């Protein structure tokens, strides 16, 4: 196991402690979240914890079912008590880039809907400024060439994400453009520009969607409560 995996596991295990019996839980996607699902599954098995979870991907849904966690949809719950998700980058202002795993649209819906957002990362994900990680943007297939050209004019080098020898498709049947900005000085302004392009479904800029940030550092976890006043 790599050092990053150890940190992801520590953060994922710590996040399971934020779930209480009777809660509805939003479950993100990715390798860090898989450790959370494992730890939550252990609590369901060992403590008889009763939880229902809304997964943000087929991958997370399968893993939850395998660990005995009930999978439900938004129509089955009155509210989402807590959501737990990973991130590709978290800035000093607690803004994030997400979507490395392609689940950005469902993840943004779930994090926005949740009463409490717990983000779990290894220490390499904490950055000063967003943008070293290419920004994922989910787009409908129709006219995506136009969207790609338009995004290129915003200072990025976008490319259509590939997988298995063809274009990658999200769980929603859309494409992902990975946009190399290098550095994103004003995430709010960029979000406004990108969301204004017809054909853009969602961006991987997650602004103001962190309540608790759990950072794995070695076998320890640093817990940071995000400043509620975002720039």
3, 5, 31, 113: residue in contact with ligand 5RP (rule CB under 6 A): 31
Out of 28, 53, 158, 208, name the contact with ligand 5RP by CB under 6 A.
Answer: 28
Residue 120 CA to residue 224 CA, distance in Å, equals 11
The three-class DSSP label of residue 177 is strand
Q: Which CB, 121 or 147, lies closer to ligand 5RP?
A: 121
Output the CA–CA distances (angstroms, integers) from residue 218 to 11, 33, 215, in the order listed: 10, 17, 10
**101 contributes a contact to ligand 5RP by CB under 6 A:** yes
Among the residue ranges 60-68, 96-104, 163-171, 175-183, the one whose residues contact ligand 5RP (CB under 6 A):
96-104
Per CB under 6 A, 7 contacts ligand 5RP: no
Q: For residue 107, indicate whether it is catalytic.
A: yes
The residues in 50-89 that bind ligand 5RP, with binding defined as CB under 6 A, are 85-88
Among residues 16, 19, 25, 104, the one that binds ligand 5RP under rule CB under 6 A: 104
Output b/e per residue, 67-83; b: 16+ Cβ within 10 A.
Answer: bebeeeeeeebeebbbb
Could you give the residue numbers annotated as active site?
107
């Amino acid at each position: 196991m790599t050092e990053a995996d150890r940190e992801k596991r520590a953060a994922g295990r710590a996040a399971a402690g934020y779930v209480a019996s009777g809660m509805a839980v939003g479950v993100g996607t990715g390798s860090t979240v898989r450790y959370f699902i494992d730890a939550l599954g252990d609590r369901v098995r060992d403590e008889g914890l009763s939880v229902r979870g809304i997964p943000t991907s087929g991958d997370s849904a399968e893993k939850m079912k395998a660990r005995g966690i009930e999978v439900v949809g938004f129509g089955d719950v009155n509210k989402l008590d807590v959501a737990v998700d990973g991130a590709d980058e978290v800035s000093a202002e607690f803004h994030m880039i997400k979507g490395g795993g392609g689940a950005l649209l469902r993840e943004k819906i779930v994090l926005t809907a949740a009463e409490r957002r717990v983000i779990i990362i290894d220490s390499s994900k904490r950055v000063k400024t967003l943008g070293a990680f290419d920004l994922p943007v989910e787009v409908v297939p129709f006219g995506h060439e136009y969207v790609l050209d338009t995004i290129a004019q915003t200072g990025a080098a976008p490319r259509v994400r590939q997988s298995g020898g063809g274009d990658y498709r999200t769980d929603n049947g859309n494409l992902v453009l990975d946009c190399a900005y290098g550095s994103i000085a004003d995430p709010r302004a960029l979000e406004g520009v990108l969301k204004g392009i017809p054909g853009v479904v969602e961006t991987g800029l997650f602004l103001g969607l962190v309540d608790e940030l759990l950072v794995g550092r070695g076998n320890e976890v640093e817990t940071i409560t995000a400043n509620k006043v975002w720039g």
